[in-house]
Amino acid sequence: MTLHTKSLTEELADWLAQGGRRIGEIVILPSAEGWEVRHVDDAESPATSLTAHKTPEAAREISKYDAAGQYRPLKGAPNLVHGWRLILDTTASLRDALDFFYPAALGNWVAFTQGRATPSPIRETFARQTGMYRITGLLDEDDCRAVVADNCAYATNCRRRIAWPVAAGVPFDNLPPEKTNLEPAPDEMPVLCLHACSLLVASARTYIKKKRAAAGQ
């Protein structure tokens, strides 16, 4: 039994053929060599003003630190550095590079749009934690709304768009629309968040410990 009718590289090629150009903070431009990836703010910059790279792995290094030299464990953070261009000769190489800039974004989007991905409601994610994170199971629905609003802000913290509700049948009602809009502009592939990341789980732990301490528990 074959899982997919098309490979992820073929899915990417289809998206590009239909005019797909943007993912998160990057833009993909057709070029004589194949494809050129840039920070979206550098789309109009003269090529000579940008540092050229030619391997997919360069994307891993470009996306590792922010402009201040701080480590970027969260690739959805809206602080991708400027000043580079990545020239790739095949769509397969482009796919590899995308998985370094926005890990799993292509696969998540394809699986989600094909109905093969089931996002975890945030309370389920917290409830299944064990060890030091087991305490996150104590967050109630309002706690979840507060933690997500504080930590996942689209404009300042993370460009992933959350596909999960607070609990089954309980959508978020306190987030700006871009955070939960899973179908942005036609030329943009949304960077989907199908399951809360470990940074959010860690923040939830800090939140509930503080709350319980304040309540004398």
Partner 1 sequence: MADSSVSSSTWRDAALVILGHGSTQNPDSSTPTWQHADELRRRGLFREVQCAFWKEEPGFREVMHMIDSDHVFVVPNFISEGYFTRDVLPRELELQGPVTHAGGRTIRYCDPVGIHPSMTRLLLKRAAEIAPGVPPSEISLVIVGHGTSLNENSTAAIKSQVELIRASGAGFGEVVDAYMEEEPLVARWDELTTAPNVVVVPFFIADGLHSYEDIPVLLGLTENSPGAISANQGEVFRRNPYALRGRQLFYSAAIGTDELMADVIMDQVAAAPQESTSPAA
| DSSP strands (E only) in 54-125 | 84-88
Residues 39-78, one symbol each (x = binds partner 1 by CB under 8 A, - = not), give ------------------x--x---xx-----x-xxxx--
Q: With respect to partner 1, which residue has the nearer C-beta, 139 or 194?
A: 194
Task: Tell me if 1 contacts partner 1 by CB under 8 A.
Answer: yes
- d(Cα 168, Cα 200) in Å, to the nearest integer? 19
Look at residues 20, 189, 25, 27 and name the one whose alpha carbon lies nearest to residue 108: 189
Q: With respect to partner 1, which residue has the nearer C-beta, 25 or 99?
A: 99
Task: Tell me if 103 contacts partner 1 by CB under 8 A.
Answer: yes
Token couple for 191: 């960077």
- In the set 93, 108, 151, 157, which binds partner 1 (CB under 8 A)? 108
Q: How many CB atoms lie within 10 A of CB 30?
A: 10
* Segment interacting with partner 1, rule: CB under 8 A, options 24-32, 38-46, 146-154, 197-205: 197-205
- d(Cα 116, Cα 80) in Å, to the nearest integer? 30
By the 8 A CB rule, do 98 and 23 touch? yes
Token couple for 43: 């789309």
Residues 119-148, one symbol each (x = binds partner 1 by CB under 8 A, - = not), give -x-------x-xx-----------------
- d(Cα 62, Cα 165) in Å, to the nearest integer? 32
Binding site for partner 1 (CB under 8 A): 1-4, 7-8, 57, 60, 64-65, 71, 73-76, 99, 103-104, 106-108, 110-111, 116-117, 120, 128, 130-131, 194-195, 197-199, 202
